[in-house]
Structure 1
Amino acid sequence: MLWSKRSAAVLLLSLGMLGGCRKPTAPMKTESHAVHGKVVSLDKSSSEIMLDHETIPGFMEAMTMPYRVDDPAVLGEVHPGDRISATILSERDDAGPKNLRLHDVVIVGQAKPDYLPPVVYHTPKVGDTVPDFKLLNQSGKTISLAQFRGKVVALTFIYTRCQLADYCPRMSRNFAEIDAALAKNPSVYAKTHLLSVSFDPKYDTPAVLRSYGGGVTGKYTKEDFAHWDFAAPPQSELLDVEKWFGVGVTPGNNNSLAHSLSTVIVGADGKVLAFYPSNDWQVKDALAVIESAAK
């Protein structure tokens, strides 16, 4: 069959019109959820971890299932029996979440003591006395946890370059809500203090923390940091701080840090009142603990 130039042009135009009539497919949004669990087994051929994990509120019940890891090098670091924290990334369409994979895997508990490095993480418990760690704050001043004795302290861990919305940014948003709520009651406000601790002291200098903190509170250069400090431990004491508060940190690509989370409410006597090891704690619950202890 012979095609004229006109026939070919008509056909191409028709196909273009048909293509233009199709409804464009909306890009799927990537979701992220914090997960904690125990490694059951590894499959290096498929880059999968069989994980027995806890309930992920609003996303998935506790279960054991395989997850592909987005960084196969992780499989050389984890072992069956290790406890890990990670982020589950997925996309969602009308059928539900798909393409589930583990990102930012951090070992928070080793199954065998001979694994290297031999780091043992402490899990803060209600009644534990918090050590008097020293920190350098946004004003270049060395502060200590002991100086806040007599006040109820809400303490959480962040680093300013964190890009995962459900991790450090979420902790900072939660603390901003707590700070605003406490400010409505001057007597309680005077008996409380907030502390955001960075585990990236090399980058998070006092100047960086001051800029970050002013942005978080929304007061920018007018922030006086009287009620909320942003600080980091010296590099020489960083690991001790991470271990006591149960914060696992592993260097990633492009200056990122894979890490777990830790938020602690400390009473006026310097002892732990509540410990939240993930990102699913609610502001109202933490606020209730703080306000009750500060009365």
Structure 2
Amino acid sequence: MDSMKWFFRNAVFAVVLIAVAGLAGCGKSTERLGSATQTFTIKGTVLAVDQEKGELTLQHDAVPGFMEAMTMPYKLERPEMAKEFHPGDIIRARLLVDKDSDGIYHHPRLNEIAILAQKHLDVTPTANYHVPTKGDAIPDFEMTDQDGKPFRFASLKGKAVLLTFIYTRCPIGDYCPKMSRNFQAIRGMMQNDAAVRDHADFVSASFDPAFDTASVLRAYGKNYVGSNDFSHWQFVRPKDDKTLKAMEQFFNLGATPESNGSLTHSLSTVLIDRDGHISEWFPGNAWSPADVYAKMKALTAK
């Protein structure tokens, strides 16, 4: 659909609303029959946030099969989520639009919003989130691994460690699944380099421990590890809710439950040196496996 048709249809819908409002005073039904909800994927930059209206003004790319690139406001299906966004954030979301029997689109709104890049690093401003910084010591959070055994980050000292955060039900390919594919790619790069392979480990930590039990993590991890050997790539979960919140805040990881059971969340990946300190932090999903492999290789040589 071109932009003129979009605005025309919205203009028609505005007229329909006015007409229906007039009929309501006469006791006639305002229900529009035959409407169906269609879904699209939308990506763009937040230009403005209206918390009172629960609305984002988005400068977005073309939405294939629906509309051209443009700038316009969108309601959030969960208005209270507006506080978690800032002008300048780059997001991807599901765009829901109702199409009535006359072919008119109306009530566009966003849900399942993923922040691809953050203008401000505090995804959840109501909490005191820490920005991971080079030289920070990694807290020895109490975790359990894919076998249900205790796991502590201190056990990995002496190795270069790449740590990321996932939840196994994540439906967005560019989010948790991409982090796992990136880890898989880096492990592949080091298979023929024993000097790196033997001094490097990977950790994928779940921020959805209620669902991601040890057995779930094991099944998920096996898909990426390719075997039952988790000696160099462990899948872990926080021991309890207190540890989960502390972990999220230290690694600047925002996660908000959606009504459908999914989580709207940010991304956080950390390269840890052999002394257990942060070497580099990678927010978002734009980092390259080849670049990170080179950084890991440099750490293992020290």
Give me the TM-score of the superposition, normalised by structure 1: 0.70
User: Are the equivalent residues in 2 in contact too, given 1:82–1:110 (CA < 8 A)?
Assistant: no
Q: How far 1:253 sits from its partner (Å)?
A: 2.3
The correspondence of residues 130-141 of structure 1 with structure 2, limited to 5 A, is 130-141=138-149
The correspondence of residues 113-262 of structure 1 with structure 2, limited to 5 A, is 118-219=126-227, 223-235=228-240, 236-262=242-268
| Partner Cα separation in structure 2 for residue 135 and residue 216 of structure 1 | 21
Return closer, same or farther for 1:85/1:245 CA change in 2, 3 Å cut-off: farther
Instruction: Tell me which moved more, 257-266 or 123-132.
Output: 123-132
Which residue, out of 98, 108, 113, partners 1:104? 113
Deviations for 1:190-215, whole angstroms, at most 9, x for unmatched residues? Answer: 11000000001111111110100001
Which residue, out of 285, 289, 293, partners 2:295? 289
Q: Residue 4 of structure 2 aligns with which residue?
A: none
User: Are the equivalent residues in 1 in contact too, given 2:130–2:250 (CA < 8 A)?
Assistant: yes
Q: How far 1:41 sits from its partner (Å)?
A: 3.5
| Partner Cα separation in structure 2 for residue 111 and residue 166 of structure 1 | 21
| Partner Cα separation in structure 2 for residue 182 and residue 290 of structure 1 | 10
Q: How far 1:291 sits from its partner (Å)?
A: 0.6
Which residue, out of 21, 45, 56, partners 1:49? 56
Q: Residue 13 of structure 2 aligns with which residue?
A: none
Return closer, same or farther for 1:292/1:29 CA change in 2, 3 Å cut-off: farther
Aligned residues: 239
Which residue, out of 61, 64, 71, partners 2:77? 71
User: Are the equivalent residues in 1 in contact too, given 2:112–2:263 (CA < 8 A)?
Assistant: no
User: Are the equivalent residues in 2 in contact too, given 1:159–1:199 (CA < 8 A)?
Assistant: yes
User: Are the equivalent residues in 2 in contact too, given 1:42–1:79 (CA < 8 A)?
Assistant: no
SS of corresponding position for 2:281: strand
User: Are the equivalent residues in 1 in contact too, given 2:206–2:212 (CA < 8 A)?
Assistant: yes
| Partner Cα separation in structure 1 for residue 290 and residue 164 of structure 2 | 16
Q: How far 1:70 sits from its partner (Å)?
A: 4.3
User: Are the equivalent residues in 1 in contact too, given 2:124–2:254 (CA < 8 A)?
Assistant: no
Deviations for 1:205-254, whole angstroms, at most 9, x for unmatched residues? Answer: 111101000012223xxx21010000001223100000000000100122
Q: How far 1:103 sits from its partner (Å)?
A: 3.9
Q: How far 1:183 sits from its partner (Å)?
A: 1.8
Please give the root-mean-square deviation of Cα atoms over the aligned residues, in Å: 3.3
Return closer, same or farther for 1:163/1:32 CA change in 2, 3 Å cut-off: farther
Return closer, same or farther for 1:277/1:108 CA change in 2, 3 Å cut-off: same
Return closer, same or farther for 1:80/1:268 CA change in 2, 3 Å cut-off: closer
| Partner Cα separation in structure 2 for residue 188 and residue 36 of structure 1 | 39
2:216 maps to a residue whose letter is V
Deviations for 1:255-282, whole angstroms, at most 9, x for unmatched residues? Answer: 1111100000000011111111101111
Which residue, out of 74, 86, 92, partners 1:87? 92
Instruction: Pick the structure with greater CA Rg.
Output: 1
| Partner Cα separation in structure 2 for residue 40 and residue 67 of structure 1 | 8
SS of corresponding position for 1:87: strand
Q: How far 1:105 sits from its partner (Å)?
A: 5.8
In structure 2, stretches of 5+ residues that fail to align are 1-37, 61-70, 97-107
SS of corresponding position for 1:109: coil
2:266 maps to a residue whose letter is S
2:56 maps to a residue whose letter is I
Return closer, same or farther for 1:163/1:127 CA change in 2, 3 Å cut-off: same
- Tell me the percent identity: 33
| Partner Cα separation in structure 2 for residue 125 and residue 237 of structure 1 | 20
SS of corresponding position for 1:258: strand
Return closer, same or farther for 1:207/1:277 CA change in 2, 3 Å cut-off: same
Give me the TM-score of the superposition, normalised by structure 2: 0.69
